[in-house]
Amino acid sequence: MLASLGEPPEVTMRRILVIGSYNRDTVLRVPRFPQPGETLAARALDRFHGGKGSNQAVAAARAGAAVSLAAAIGTDEAAEAALALWAAEGIGAASVHRRAGVPTGEALILLDDRGENEIVIVGGANATLAPEEAVAALGVSALVLAQLETPVEATLAAFVAARAAGARTLLNAAPAQVLPEALLDATAILMVNETEAERLAGRSGAPADLAAALASRVAEGVVLTAGAAGAWWAARGAAPSHVPAVPTDVVDSTGSGDAFAGAMAAGLAEGLPIEAALRRGATAGALACRRLGAVPSLPRRAEILALGG
């Protein structure tokens, strides 16, 4: 039982397992994105912890959840930094596997003056996470959260085992790609942005329509995030509902989606209804836009609750 900051001790958090990536992020701040063939001078260079899996694990832990991580890293300096991060955040790393001779994942991020970003990822050790390693990490987790920066086969195996054990599965289908139907069948809640929703649906459309179209392919429903336009929840057989965005000043949007996913997962692990968990996620996502860097921007539980999440 984990008592959360600012709340009565009877609040209980069920354990979350995050299956996902760790990347060392190199952020180049540029006035605008370069055109093809153009050389553009960056104004600054910063390095941060990153990777959607690690970011979402940190976001969920800071939102008050008990979190463990299944991941693969190298034996380099970036891997040592990752282990130190997870230890500092109270994230269980017993199911993090180290690979000799394989580099820890890397990401190059261009950040422009509007706070928008473009990202290129080198998977490295992330691409080596095996299905049996992901399944072995399940333990007593009540909710399993995954993304698409580690092998789909590992996530599928863990989701099938988790569903058989009665655990809830939450898939953040990012980066955008076509998914096997078996993975969607094993997914309770699907989280996508507009681009990812269009890729999975095979068409464009209004956010509410896309969410509704995808809801029939998963067990519970779909969360579709749309930045300043807010988010939509579409359950199977029900009309979509809208969660407004929280107004914010955008400094860097890099970690906002991960903050949303992690805080929403923490809310679900706490037993909140889906729309209350969505509001918590939307609040965390807005707070994450206010600071530079993915992990430095991820808000803590007290900040989220103070803003009404």
The architecture (CATH level 2) of 16-21+54-96+131-306 comes to 3-Layer(aba) Sandwich (3.40)
- Amino acid identity at 236: R
| pLDDT over 50 (residue 10) | no
pLDDT (tens digit per residue) in 250-302 = 888 878 999 999 999 999 999 999 999 999 999 999 999 998 888 999 999 99
Amino acid 117: pLDDT: 86
User: Residue holding tokens 């095996």?
Assistant: 130
pLDDT (tens digit per residue) in 16-71 = 999 999 999 899 999 999 999 999 999 999 999 999 999 999 999 999 999 999 99
pLDDT band at 184 (very low <50, low <70, confident <90, very high): very high
Radius of gyration of the CA atoms of the chain, in A: 18
**Are 133 and 95 a contacting pair, CB within 8 Å?**
yes
**Are 113 and 133 a contacting pair, CB within 8 Å?**
no
**Euclidean distance between CA atoms 28 and 80, whole angstroms:** 23
- Kindly report the pTM of this predicted structure: 0.90
Please state at what angle helix 77-89 crosses helix 52-62, rounded to 10 degrees: 20
pLDDT (tens digit per residue) in 49-63 = 999 999 999 999 999
In this prediction, residues 178-202 reach a mean pLDDT of 96
**Euclidean distance between CA atoms 278 and 267, whole angstroms:** 8
- Token reading at 300: 């803590």
| End-to-end CA, the chain | 22
- Across the chain, which distance is largest between two alpha carbons, in Å? 59
pLDDT band at 2 (very low <50, low <70, confident <90, very high): very low
Residues 207-241 as b or e (16 or more Cβ within 10 Å = b): bbbbbbbbbebbbbbbbbbbeeebbbbbbeeeebb
| pLDDT over 80 (residue 8) | no
**Are 274 and 221 a contacting pair, CB within 8 Å?**
yes
* Active-site annotation holder among 112, 185, 252, 258: 258
**Are 237 and 276 a contacting pair, CB within 8 Å?**
no
- Cβ atoms within 10 A of the Cβ of 270, count? 20
**Euclidean distance between CA atoms 302 and 61, whole angstroms:** 12
**Are 200 and 191 a contacting pair, CB within 8 Å?**
no
For residue 154, the surrounding DSSP H or E stretch is helix 152-164
258 is catalytic: yes
In this prediction, residues 132-157 reach a mean pLDDT of 97
